Amino acid sequence: MGRKFFVGGNWKCNGTTESVKKLVEVLNQGEVPSEDIVEVVVAPPFVFLPLIKSLLRSDFAVAAQNAWVKKGGAFTGEISAEQLVNLGIPWVILGHSERRALLNESNEFVGAKVAYALEQGLKVIPCVGETLEQREAGKTMDVITDQLKAIADKVEHWENVVLAYEPVWAIGTGKVATPDQAQEVHVDIRKWIAANVSEDVASQVRIIYGGSVNGGNANELAHQPDVDGFLVGGASLKPEFIDIIKAAE
């Protein structure tokens, strides 16, 4: 398989200039495995992207938490993929469940965003995942399949894609998926990609888990064969993010 472990930190809408500087100081001092073992990306709010890029250790990369669906222009309040490229920001998270829910980002809209960001040369972390209601109704893979199809319909090249499976019921709740639950969905995602994209992409693409990951549960989750890393929310704002990165060892 040989998929390099990937740990993303999604800072969401958090931080002040002072607090993010302090957080970067902690991250810069953290002892973590080398870059050939783990890839680390942190995603600050837009307003801190240049600052964090200038302060962050060179073995960590920076991501935006969103990007507009087409070339910039008369789209008040939006940030374009071109502007992220211009700032030297290599990664972008797209289709996070909070944006899908709060801003009604449809599967098709997310798929178009992923395709456009890749076309502009960004590396992309598309997010998929089901709500508790959908899981309890046995619809988990129906939902995720629809989300994946909307992406696969528009994406030709997958080498710059890291897929994040983030069950909505685990995000911010402290109710982390069990290792078996995470592994089961990751396997089903990989099987879907094998059948609908290619076996090669399915074996290469990294599928990372997000939803209440912390320093206490990261190791067991990391040892699941199809869990290739994490997209961490709350715990990425704390020193324990370093412990989560160490789960790559």
Ligand X SMILES: O=C(COP(=O)(O)O)NO
Among 28, 57, 132, 172, contact with ligand X (rule: CB under 6 A): 172
Identify the three-state secondary structure at position 139. coil
Q: Is 171 in the site for ligand X (CB under 6 A)?
A: yes
Distance separating alpha carbons of residues 204 and 231, to the nearest angstrom? 18
Q: Is 166 a catalytic residue?
A: yes
Q: Is 202 in the site for ligand X (CB under 6 A)?
A: no
Q: Is 234 in the site for ligand X (CB under 6 A)?
A: yes
**Which residue shows structure tokens 């995942």?**
129
40 vs 171, beta carbon nearer ligand X: 171
- DSSP assignment of 164-210 equals EE--GGGTTTS-PPPHHHHHHHHHHHHHHHHHHT-HHHHHHSEEEE-
Q: How far is the CB of 237 from ligand X (least distance, A)?
A: 9
Q: How far is the CB of 170 from ligand X (least distance, A)?
A: 6
Q: How far is the CB of 111 from ligand X (least distance, A)?
A: 19
One of 39, 82, 105, 166 is an active-site residue; which one?
166
Q: Is 229 in the site for ligand X (CB under 6 A)?
A: no
Q: How far is the CB of 117 from ligand X (least distance, A)?
A: 17
161 vs 232, beta carbon nearer ligand X: 232
Among 66, 147, 183, 212, contact with ligand X (rule: CB under 6 A): 212
Supply 130's token pair.
Answer: 């089901």
121 vs 172, beta carbon nearer ligand X: 172
Q: Is 213 in the site for ligand X (CB under 6 A)?
A: yes
Stretch near ligand X under the rule CB under 6 A, chosen from 47-55, 84-92, 105-113, 209-217? 209-217
Stretch near ligand X under the rule CB under 6 A, chosen from 53-61, 154-162, 208-216, 218-226? 208-216
Q: Is 96 a catalytic residue?
A: yes
Q: Which residues bind ligand X (CB under 6 A)?
A: 10, 96, 166, 171-172, 210-213, 231-235
* Active-site residue set: 96, 166
